Structure 1
């Protein structure tokens, strides 16, 4: 593979992209008439004024209700300057509209590359003067709204981040692409189909309202066990919390130390077994590993009292001991993905405190956090008011409906995962594309209410796990610094759920040998990136560094998947192989097969 050293990883805005239809070719556009200009001058002018008044009203309301220490008096000169800049930009925009020969600034020729904004990619937004005016006016107002947030004084970083997030969400919702009468593609489609696109779109919208969830992909295209989660194996253990799947070996000999994978219970485990081409599980089996995967049960009324103690002790520790006993081995390799990686760090600390650290030969962390000081945009949804609301949502059933979590994650990328589909499926009336990743994304799991409330409060809000002794599991204060287990830590460069800055902090809490790998793309595609895809890249730095900046400054880039790098790391810890017989074959040991993989828990809603 080609390598380059000392290159700072460039931003890749195309992480985990959702498929988008190609816009239809633009029809020839006639110059607007005087009546058109007068009409749209009034309409767009009103829209600009309304948006500015909305911002001013919101700021005034906040100033009236918030304590002075959290929203101090603003400098009037700042607002006057902002208003003057807005009207100056407005006049320049109208001048270009009324005299088309006036060239637009180079920065306005296309959406800024850093945003990855594809909403206005269709040529109709530039070729038709009226829609070009709408586009430019909207982008100008949005720019000034965000500048207004940056110019507010007296806000701490967290307050400003929350206000910017809310402002961006509001601006995305108000985009002219989201409304039939201000989207040229929708107008053309309506004329072409004589309104059938809107009828079909209404059917889509009513169906989504009925199921309480936005649809991203064809719901009939995929089925677990048919074209998802297809790696052969058997369920060999079932508890009220999880099923343990053992996969059928694909080689005559396997590594002596088995691998136990803990996926997050926030999602279904088959993100690691989407299809044969994308499956990390199948790939690991083909690499000569004995692979076990925990399939967590989606929460129901019987799990009202489940806490993090259960996921760690009656989940991870129980699965580790089950595999050790089944195969008669002293230790296992482990993988913890996302929240299961957070739990895995606690598991390692508890085993160490109990003198049982040697039960785990290695720990691999996929996009996992233990220090939540820089936990990213998810913190926008965590404050006392929202925690109280979550408590009310789950009070009656004892669990949080997974559709709420799906909405939360969609809001983090609202432009791509909400409004893109509002336009395509509701306004344009397009058929849903078949896309396995989006099918998994919509396959929600319920969460135990008590666990979820404590997780957000203790870790995200109060960051207890980052301070030795403050986070307690089963009476044991957790101190991550006691962990000496060899660790492989993977982060995604464009991860918006577990930011790389946050994941890197894990390297500072562990005391054993650590290999940190920065993968291209984000929370999902950064992990699910098989070598055969030849996509993205990853960076390593063999030197011992204390900061992420130092890691990046002298990192070595390798094109393609990081999976082979991980396999070499595992092999270095386990050079011995054994023949595939007896308990290495699912159902042939002391644990008889309960049912075929992927089991019934993954199908339980």
Structure 2
């Protein structure tokens, strides 16, 4: 099996940012010996702190503490709150059991499921839970509402203190968690023995990047099993074309651009959860980009390389395989952001090349990007750049740690309690297996992404350059289908909704139940999915997110069905399916799906 170079038809600009023909070597940085030494030291510190900048945290806490020190009125307010809570607490614990009212003082916040079990309403456990929640509430009051503290620093301090408090939540300890107590009584302490075995197993697999055990979902066997062929390969992507499953197919192909932070097969999980399978069974010709997992030698691959070698290359290949047909382009997460950039250029330079643009949990304006922005400021980005400068890539451990902190109760503490105190493993799933199959990020690309998009918001404000030319999202004119998810901690739906302010297109906006991953993987066969939908025409008055929530119709079921209706409405009449797949030059395909790049670790 040979690796095909970029096709002759691909034309890249002859400038300093031209795409290299192979893995990129480390360039001469021109840095002084002192600067290089400083970067090495900061990179070593970054490895110890998991990529978090101590300077960023110190500056945030200094801002808060200095303003708090100059606010004696705030001291008095906090002291009175503590005294009032203490008096109410004393009244609560002295209440006879017959008159006991759970959550008399404070209730868990919406979305906090740590104390949702029925046993948490019993006095001893409920008292401990309310004591913890009162402390959490008091600290939130102490960190917020201080005049003069920057919003970013306020959020950092509140986040860090909340993370510290979460370590001592009563749900994390065997004696104060009623579920653990019940399990210990029922099993005679056997749950702790099982938890010990689980801990030993995890220690053995500490260096593994994939879940172990006989129930692991294997790529090509259990997930990523939709039939297809790799019809194109370059040094960054494999392009998969899926085999038709119907006699007649939609003549307009669908190109899916997944995020490169994870493997593409979140959109082709096990057959019942596969969006790819769902589409091909309804007559769509689907192409999928599978990104190569970069190494240190790829350190200088930038965001523009991903656009040219990724989206642009895939579009050119599809134009050869399905000539004369506009493309339905869809992008998920980072892939959606990249697609928006590429689509704006394509619709300016080649009008009509795209039939529609679909963005799935993808942001184009990063001013309200949620708690992820806590890790994105000048100090933090510079710290990450130093760490990546030495290694050439951002390793999977650093990325996974950041995302786990955003949902520490669900991703860290609840898992530790379940595995080690209750002694049970969560049932394996295809989504969990995919989540453990992370990829690396090249130094230059991740720096481009953090600085140009997150930190400076260049794309939304018209400063982002592609091939030296500014990208204007107002050039997006093709009909758009945009999906946000209700509990998204990576791409908050209000941030996704900002596409209405930037694109000059008809937009069907969907707000789906679930989070960043589970809200997108929403097969119709699975119960419990809901969504809201509202369509707006280009030129209509802007509808803000709060007003949108009031106007959008709420519907039961999966948004997948709504997307199929959208694609069908924006396509021509079905045509007979081709019986075989081939490469752009008419030769045989390169490989069977899922290809080779998805198997790289």
TM-score (norm 1): 0.82
Secondary structure at the aligned position of 1:277 is classed as helix
Is 1:211 the counterpart of 2:206? The answer is: yes
**What is the number of residues matched between the two proteins?**
540
Is 1:305 the counterpart of 2:291? The answer is: no
**1:505 matched to which residue of 2?**
498
Distance 1:349 1:441, change over 3 A: same
Q: Quote the Cα distance in structure 2 between the aligned partners of 1:63 and 1:397.
A: 27
Tell me if structure 2 keeps the 8 A contact 1:233–1:246.
yes
| Pairwise CA distance, 1:377 | 1.1
Distance 1:423 1:215, change over 3 A: farther
Of 242, 245, 256, the residue aligned with 2:240 is 245
Distance 1:67 1:289, change over 3 A: closer
Secondary structure at the aligned position of 1:368 is classed as coil
Equivalences for residues 164-563 of structure 1 within 5 A = 164-187=158-181, 189-190=183-184, 197-209=191-203, 210-211=205-206, 220-353=215-348, 355-468=349-462, 470-543=463-536, 544-546=540-542, 547-563=544-560
Equivalences for residues 85-104 of structure 1 within 5 A = 85-101=81-97, 103=99
Q: Deviations over 1:199-255 (max 9, x none)?
A: 543443454455258998967331112211111111111211111111110011111
Q: Deviations over 1:545-564 (max 9, x none)?
A: 41223322322222111222
Q: Quote the Cα distance in structure 2 between the aligned partners of 1:62 and 1:403.
A: 24
Is 1:590 the counterpart of 2:591? The answer is: no
Secondary structure at the aligned position of 2:67 is classed as coil
Tell me if structure 2 keeps the 8 A contact 1:368–1:498.
yes
Q: Bigger CA drift: 251-260 or 157-166?
A: 157-166
Structure 1 alignment gaps of length 5 or more: 1-60
**1:564 matched to which residue of 2?**
561
**1:577 matched to which residue of 2?**
574
| Pairwise CA distance, 1:99 | 4.5
Equivalences for residues 144-163 of structure 1 within 5 A = 144-163=138-157
Q: Bigger CA drift: 325-334 or 304-313?
A: 325-334
| Pairwise CA distance, 1:148 | 1.7
Tell me if structure 1 keeps the 8 A contact 2:296–2:391.
yes
Distance 1:431 1:512, change over 3 A: closer
Q: Quote the Cα distance in structure 2 between the aligned partners of 1:310 and 1:236.
A: 20
Q: Quote the Cα distance in structure 2 between the aligned partners of 1:497 and 1:479.
A: 24
| Pairwise CA distance, 1:465 | 0.7
Q: Quote the Cα distance in structure 2 between the aligned partners of 1:592 and 1:253.
A: 23
Q: Quote the Cα distance in structure 1 between the aligned partners of 2:276 and 2:134.
A: 48
Is 1:83 the counterpart of 2:79? The answer is: yes
| Pairwise CA distance, 1:150 | 2.5
Q: Deviations over 1:251-291 (max 9, x none)?
A: 11111111111011011111111111111100100111111
| Pairwise CA distance, 1:588 | 10
Secondary structure at the aligned position of 2:144 is classed as helix
Q: Quote the Cα distance in structure 1 between the aligned partners of 2:491 and 2:220.
A: 30
Structure 2 alignment gaps of length 5 or more: 1-56
Tell me if structure 2 keeps the 8 A contact 1:371–1:466.
yes
Distance 1:528 1:185, change over 3 A: closer
Tell me if structure 1 keeps the 8 A contact 2:60–2:154.
no
Q: Deviations over 1:7-66 (max 9, x none)?
A: xxxxxxxxxxxxxxxxxxxxxxxxxxxxxxxxxxxxxxxxxxxxxxxxxxxxxx979973
Q: Note the aligned Cα RMSD (angstroms).
A: 2.8
Q: Quote the Cα distance in structure 1 between the aligned partners of 2:584 and 2:300.
A: 35
Q: Quote the Cα distance in structure 2 between the aligned partners of 1:156 and 1:528.
A: 37
Of 580, 584, 599, the residue aligned with 2:595 is 599
Is 1:66 the counterpart of 2:59? The answer is: no
TM-score (norm 2): 0.83
Distance 1:289 1:99, change over 3 A: closer
**1:42 matched to which residue of 2?**
none
Q: Quote the Cα distance in structure 1 between the aligned partners of 2:588 and 2:376.
A: 44
| Pairwise CA distance, 1:298 | 1.4
Secondary structure at the aligned position of 1:541 is classed as strand
Q: Quote the Cα distance in structure 1 between the aligned partners of 2:397 and 2:552.
A: 40
| Pairwise CA distance, 1:184 | 4.2
Distance 1:130 1:462, change over 3 A: same
| Pairwise CA distance, 1:340 | 0.9
| Pairwise CA distance, 1:175 | 0.4
Tell me if structure 1 keeps the 8 A contact 2:486–2:514.
yes
Q: Deviations over 1:441-494 (max 9, x none)?
A: 1211111121112211111111111112x1112212111112222221111122
Q: Quote the Cα distance in structure 1 between the aligned partners of 2:272 and 2:157.
A: 42
Tell me if structure 1 keeps the 8 A contact 2:64–2:157.
no
Distance 1:360 1:126, change over 3 A: closer
Secondary structure at the aligned position of 1:581 is classed as coil
Q: Quote the Cα distance in structure 1 between the aligned partners of 2:215 and 2:556.
A: 35
| Pairwise CA distance, 1:154 | 2.0
Q: Quote the Cα distance in structure 1 between the aligned partners of 2:386 and 2:525.
A: 47
| Pairwise CA distance, 1:80 | 2.2
Tell me if structure 2 keeps the 8 A contact 1:96–1:102.
no
